[in-house]
Amino acid sequence: MFDFRYHALSLAAVLLALAVGVVIGVAIGDSDLVSSAKSGIVHDLKEEVRGEQRHASQLSAQLSSEETFANDLYPIAVHGLLSGQGIGLVFLGAPSNHINALVRDAVTQAGGDLATVVAVREPLDLAGIGRAAEGTRYAALAGTTPTVPATGEGETTGREAQAGEVSSELVERFGTIVAKQLVSGGQNVERELISRVRGSLLTAFDGQLGRLQGLVIVRNDPTAETPEQSKATAAFEAGFLDGVAAIGTPIVGVELSRTEPSQIPWYQGKDISSVDDLDATAGQAALIYALTGSHGAYGTKATADSLLPNVAGGSPQP
């Protein structure tokens, strides 16, 4: 039996489809309508871009103002903290003129003097060091094993065993002696050793030996070394840090904010203070406070404890 309700529904559907088609057809055919919609979208996007540009300009001005304030405040914050103190800079590996200049500026701003700058050759030239140290127990670094006298570091028995593998213990002891001489100005046994081995041990030396009140360390990534070279390097570096600690001289490891791979984990593993953004004003301030006794990892990287030491209301603790 024919039902008029189905007929009505079918007719309504046809009319709706016809209406939609007419609207779409008009929109497609009306270039003015399309152009108007496009212009509206472009206008809105341009307004958003202009708004973001204004915001970026405001942030840039704010940042510039804060940087100016920090730069003006920095000399006041560090004034006299290193007054009359001699500071050393040691590169474990290749030296960097940029880092040298940054450390020198920071130390000078605080009233100190960058008295000694050295770069340790890594991997170590053990053969050259051993030859230069002939007459001492460290002649064994050339690959021979001397009979070590019991009376002093600088004596020799004149008797040597056949060449053999250099022990890590001897390399570590050598690093300790070198560090003690460097920070104490050579006032210890074998005071001439560092001068004798200088050509083989160091690739750069600037300044003069003298008592240092602080030491800045810059370590390079030693990945290009062979396993045996890495073993000797690790032993020397461990002994070197032990020697500095034995004298009681504050030591701080530094790097630039873009240094990769970062050496901060190595510094932390050796329990020495570190600064990971030496190329920033805050990093230079952190270096000065660390040299005066603050202990921690400072900077902007994930390994940092804080941007700066907490020195408000008190003085740095040794």
What's the pLDDT tens digit per position in 48-104? 887 788 777 777 766 665 566 456 677 788 889 999 999 999 999 999 999 999 999
Look at 9-18, 36-45, 62-71, 206-215 and tell me which has the smallest mean pLDDT. 62-71
The verdict on residue 76 lying in a domain is no
* Residues 188, 108 within the same domain: yes
Residue of 93, 140, 154, 81 lying closest to 120 (CA atoms): 93
Task: Please report the pLDDT score of residue 152 as a whole number.
Answer: 43
pLDDT over threshold 50, residue 15: yes
| 163-183 confidence digits (pLDDT tens) | 446 689 999 999 999 999 999
What sign does the dihedral 89-94-96-99 (CA atoms) show?
negative
The verdict on residue 267 lying in a domain is no
The verdict on residue 206 lying in a domain is yes
Order of strands across the sheet that contains 113-120 = 202-207, 113-120, 86-92, 214-219, 251-254, 273-275, 297-298
* Residues 55, 103 within the same domain: no
* Residues 37, 149 within the same domain: no
Q: Which of the listed residues 249, 280, 295 is the one where a domain comes to its end?
A: 249
SS3 214: strand
pTM for the model stands at 0.72
* Residues 242, 163 within the same domain: yes
Residue of 213, 241, 216, 209 lying closest to 318 (CA atoms): 213
Q: Which domain holds residue 103?
A: 83-249
Task: Tell me the average pLDDT across 34-52.
Answer: 75
Phi, then psi, of 275 in degrees rounded to 5:
-135, 125
Cα 60–66–69 angle (5° rounding)?
A: 145
Banded model confidence at residue 43, pLDDT cuts 50, 70, 90? confident
Task: Please report the pLDDT score of residue 44 as a whole number.
Answer: 75
Strand partners, 90: 118, 217
Residue of 190, 180, 188, 182 lying closest to 86 (CA atoms): 182
* Residues 98, 244 within the same domain: yes
The verdict on residue 255 lying in a domain is no
Q: How many CB atoms are closer than 10 A to CB 286?
A: 30
Q: Which of the listed residues 32, 66, 100 is the one where a domain comes to its end?
A: 66
Task: Tell me the average pLDDT across 42-49.
Answer: 78
* Residues 15, 162 within the same domain: no
Q: Which of the listed residues 249, 284, 301 is the one where a domain comes to its end?
A: 249
* Residues 96, 167 within the same domain: yes
Phi, then psi, of 294 in degrees rounded to 5:
-70, 140
SS3 52: helix
Task: Please report the pLDDT score of residue 193 as a whole number.
Answer: 87
* Residues 195, 229 within the same domain: yes
* Residues 192, 52 within the same domain: no
Task: Give the total number of structural domains in the chain.
Answer: 2
Task: Tell me the average pLDDT across 292-312.
Answer: 91
| 136-146 confidence digits (pLDDT tens) | 999 999 874 44
Tell me which DSSP letter residue 16 carries: H
Residues 6+ apart with CB under 8 A from 90: 117, 118, 119, 120, 182, 215, 216, 217, 218, 240
The verdict on residue 276 lying in a domain is no
Does the N-terminal peptide bond of residue 316 adopt cis geometry, omega within 30 degrees of 0?
Answer: no
Residue of 308, 245, 250 lying closest to 275 (CA atoms): 308
| 96-126 confidence digits (pLDDT tens) | 999 999 999 999 999 999 999 999 999 999 9
Q: What is the dihedral of CA 175, 178, 182, 184, to 10 degrees?
A: 100
Strand partners, 184: 211
Task: Tell me the average pLDDT across 188-206.
Answer: 83
* Residues 28, 169 within the same domain: no
Give the pair of three-digit tokens for residue 215.
């030491």
Q: What is the Cβ-side half-sphere exposure of residue 56, based on CA atoms within 13 angstroms?
A: 6
More confident residue, 91 or 19: 91
Specify the length of the chain in residues: 318
The verdict on residue 11 lying in a domain is yes
* Residues 240, 91 within the same domain: yes
* Residues 226, 150 within the same domain: yes
The verdict on residue 190 lying in a domain is yes
The verdict on residue 278 lying in a domain is no
